[in-house]
């Protein structure tokens, strides 16, 4: 069992849509300002009753259905999230129970917007080493809960959603390689600097960000990690059929693609309709591109993301 192959994908977006025009009535901003700087037109917002595990459950069911398996075949559940249901137990354990799949390993991964890449790499290692045959990897976020809705620099960027992929061990190539990095010295550039002590929140429990610094850092490291993935697999940028980046900002996406010499025609971009859904953004984009027929068997698909920590990474897949 040499490779982990994607056998099913799924996604879920909450019903409520918050447009840029809606935000004009909430904060000092405009549709033109948001579109010009981010490429975002709208984002989805979870209902008060929806938790990260609920979003994950809907996406997981779609992936399991697409994979055509009995949920009880799943031996590993990993959820990438920055917005868990609670401090503990993990959202993965809660999801496992909601799926009714019983005794299997389940845990969360917290690498912010790179979380799905980190989770995918972890599941890939479990399958490559023979520790499990079938794994469910989910990215699920309810970022609307950690936004300061009076801060126009951050509240316009994020949305809620979930995406999932189902992996199974196979002798045929699937995930070719994964590449993970982190630099904790940059932790203050993008964070939600709060903690709980004695039942009280200490610090600011909202997303804070140095936008220009994040932009420059992201473009630099994303180019580097993509070249790392290509070099390990003896491929060129021209060999990539689809680039699926973390959907943070259309300018970051376009700048990265330009530096890599990859046409935007080969980039899957969903940021206009979803906003930045952090760890959910890549699996959401994957599912959309699979279901609309863009991603086909035998193609090379390159995933890349960067998030608070700072963390960043890439995964190269032969579909």
Paired tokens of 3: 């490779």
Any catalytic annotation for residue 179?
no
DSSP β-ladder status, 208-209 and 134-142: unpaired
Catalytic residue among 20, 58, 249, 276: 276
Nearest to 161 by CA among 11, 9, 41, 291: 11
Catalytic residue among 58, 93, 104, 246: 246
DSSP β-ladder status, 175-182 and 3-12: unpaired
Are 162 and 141 contacting, i.e. CB atoms less than 8 angstroms apart? yes
Dihedral of CA atoms 172, 177, 178, 181 in degrees, nearest 10, equals 170
Buried b (16+ CB within 10 A) or exposed e, 153-184: ebbbbbbbbbbbbbbbbeeeebbbbbbbbbee
Any catalytic annotation for residue 276?
yes
Nearest-angstrom CA–CA distance, 150 and 30 = 14
Cβ atoms within 10 Å of 30's Cβ, excluding its own: 14
Residue with tokens 């069911």: 61
Any catalytic annotation for residue 246?
yes
Paired tokens of 170: 């196979």
Catalytic residue among 20, 58, 104, 113: 113
Paired tokens of 118: 């980190």
- Those residues whose C-beta lies under 8 Å from the C-beta of residue 314, and which sit 6 or more positions away, are 117, 178, 179, 222, 225, 226, 228, 229, 302, 303, 304, 305
Residues labelled as active-site residues: 113, 246, 276
């Amino acid at each position: 069992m040499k490779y982990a192959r994607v056998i099913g994908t799924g996604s879920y977006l909450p019903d409520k849509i918050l447009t840029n025009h809606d935000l004009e009535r909430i904060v000092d901003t405009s549709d033109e300002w948001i579109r010009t700087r981010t490429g975002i037109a709208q984002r989805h917002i979870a209902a008060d009753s929806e938790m990260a595990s609920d979003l994950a459950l809907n996406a997981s069911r779609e992936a399991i259905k697409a994979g055509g398996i009995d949920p009880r075949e799943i031996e590993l559940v990993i959820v990438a999230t920055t917005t868990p249901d609670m401090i503990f137990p993990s959202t993965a354990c809660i999801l496992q129970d909601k799926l009714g799949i019983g005794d299997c390993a389940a845990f969360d991964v917290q690498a912010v917007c790179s979380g799905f890449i980190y989770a995918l790499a972890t599941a890939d290692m479990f399958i490559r080493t023979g520790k499990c045959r079938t794994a469910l990897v989910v990215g699920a976020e309810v970022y609307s809960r950690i936004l300061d809705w009076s801060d126009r620099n951050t509240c316009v960027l994020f949305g809620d959603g979930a995406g999932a992929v189902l992996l199974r061990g196979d002798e045929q190539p699937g995930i070719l390689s994964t590449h993970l990095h982190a630099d904790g010295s940059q932790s203050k550039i993008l964070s939600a600097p709060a903690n709980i002590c004695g039942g009280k929140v200490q610090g600011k429990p909202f997303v804070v960000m140095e936008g220009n610094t994040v932009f420059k850092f992201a473009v630099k490291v994303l180019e580097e990690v993509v070249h790392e993935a290509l070099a390990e697999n003896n491929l060129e940028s021209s060999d990539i059929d689809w680039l699926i980046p973390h959907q943070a900002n259309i300018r970051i996406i376009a700048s990265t693609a330009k530096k890599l010499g990859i046409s935007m025609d080969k980039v899957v971009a969903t940021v206009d309709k979803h906003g930045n859904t952090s760890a959910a953004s890549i699996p959401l984009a994957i599912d959309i591109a699979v279901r609309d027929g863009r991603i086909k068997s035998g193609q090379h698909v390159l995933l890349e993301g960067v998030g608070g920590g700072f963390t960043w990474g890439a995964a190269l897949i032969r579909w």
